[in-house]
Amino acid sequence: MEYGAIDLHMRRSEIRIETEDGMLVLARRIDTTRHAFEQVYGGRPRMRILLESSTESEWVAQCLEALGHEVIVADPNYLPMYGQRSRRVKTDKRDVAALTTACRQGTYRRASRVSAAQRTRRQELRVRRHLVQVRTRTISLIRSLVRQDGLRVPRGASEGMVARLDRMSLPPALQAVIAPLKEVTTQIQTTLDRMEERIEQISETDVAAQRLMTAPGVGPIVALTYLAVLDTPDRFGGDARRASAFLGLVPSEDSSAERQHKGRITKTGPPELRSLLIQASWVIWRGRSADGAALRTWAHALAARRGRRIAIVALARRLSRILFAMWRDETDFTRRAQTAVAA
């Protein structure tokens, strides 16, 4: 059996193929296109090919698998995979040689490959998040321009920004300046409204999302983002603590011997879901629902000892573990269930 590796790049990639004994079969640089991969790997006997997880890795992996090869998408943070590669002299040829050796010897750690359905869901949620950010920046610019004329736009929801501007008596010159921004804001809001409606419809037909939405502070966006990012509870061996660590909600640690020091959260993993869980925690903190009463009481007691910011992050961590347990065990939220997962 032959073993190969690809050092993927956006335009051109380095490839290498070796025999079981490590004899070189092929080493060259090719364009990062389907046609180029089909030319090199099409018609060759089934081989094992290793490539690092990256933006291009999934479509390349699917292309190679369609050609009949076994593809390993590896975690690029697994240092043993690179063997004795020197950081002082780093080239694509050296990288792909190290990856090919790792492929032959099995010194790699597989990266999680998200299902096609969840990958599409991620992309949709990412587009929505981008539009929200563009709307926020546009509104900030409008506020800044209005303030330069000694006026202030009344506070309120982003959805009503244009309506609040229309009710203001603005100088004609300023109206002309902000007119394009108002138009952009209106267009973005119209698009976001359609996306929100579609997301609402998706959440209504997704059993797992409906289950997560029984938890306090969790709506369609939080639930669908949680499912899309984590993909499946089996990915973490059913361990809620591993899931919260993946989301970067656990404290960093620098301990040695008898000394133990824990710092701020690691903030590894996807920032968008971490941010949404923090927002959900604020909803629980400020809410008055009976379902969130125990979590709210716990967070307020922690805030009295450690401060509100630490309490909110701790609540987000606890919420992430509760959601994971609900997903894993296929159970709805109950007031008793929130004590089943340790903070």
Complete DSSP assignment for 25-88: EEEEEEESSHHHHHHHHTTSPP-EEEEE-STTHHHHHHHHHHTT-EEEEE-TT-GGGGTT--SS
Last residue of a domain, one of 174, 205, 236: 205
Question: Taking Cα atoms as reference points, which of 222, 272, 268 lies closest to residue 247?
Answer: 268
Q: What percent of the chain has pLDDT over 70?
A: 94
How far is residue 111's CA from residue 204's CA, in Å, rounded to a whole number? 31
Structural domain for 290, as ranges: 208-339
- Is the dihedral angle over the CA atoms 314, 320, 321, 326 positive or is it negative? positive
Average pLDDT of span 88-101: 89
Q: Are 96 and 5 in contact (CB under 8 A)?
A: yes
Average pLDDT of span 99-127: 93
Instruction: Indicate if 313 and 199 belong to the same structural domain.
Output: no
CA angle 239, 118, 208 (to 5 degrees): 60
Q: For residue range 17-57, list pLDDT tens digits in order.
A: 999 999 999 999 999 999 999 999 999 999 999 999 999 99
Looking at the structure of the chain, the number of domains it has is 3
How far is residue 217's CA from residue 292's CA, in Å, rounded to a whole number? 8
Last residue of a domain, one of 41, 71, 105: 105
Instruction: Indicate if 165 and 249 belong to the same structural domain.
Output: no
pLDDT at 339: 52
What are the distances in angstroms from CA 62 to CA 13, 72, 87, 155, 235? 16, 11, 31, 49, 20
Question: Taking Cα atoms as reference points, which of 201, 197, 196, 161 lies closest to residue 182?
Answer: 161
Alpha-helical regions (H) of 148-219: 161-166, 172-205, 207-212
Instruction: Indicate if 196 and 233 belong to the same structural domain.
Output: no
Instruction: Indicate if 182 and 234 belong to the same structural domain.
Output: no
How far is residue 235's CA from residue 232's CA, in Å, rounded to a whole number? 6
pTM of structure: 0.85
- For residue 111, tell me if it sits in a domain: no
Structure tokens belonging to residue 19: 């025999």
The pLDDT of residue 138 is above 50: yes
Instruction: Indicate if 194 and 213 belong to the same structural domain.
Output: no
The pLDDT of residue 225 is above 70: yes
Instruction: Indicate if 220 and 121 belong to the same structural domain.
Output: no
Q: Which amino acid is at 154?
A: P
Average pLDDT of span 135-156: 96
Q: Are 230 and 212 in contact (CB under 8 A)?
A: no
What are the beta bridge partners of residue 17? Answer: 4, 26
Instruction: Indicate if 172 and 225 belong to the same structural domain.
Output: no
- Is the dihedral angle over the CA atoms 334, 336, 342, 343 positive or is it negative? positive
What are the distances in angstroms from CA 12 to CA 6, 134, 160? 10, 32, 47
pLDDT at 212: 97
How far is residue 133's CA from residue 16's CA, in Å, rounded to a whole number? 42
Question: Taking Cα atoms as reference points, which of 86, 92, 102, 119 lies closest to residue 4?
Answer: 102
Instruction: Indicate if 288 and 309 belong to the same structural domain.
Output: yes
Instruction: Indicate if 66 and 135 belong to the same structural domain.
Output: no
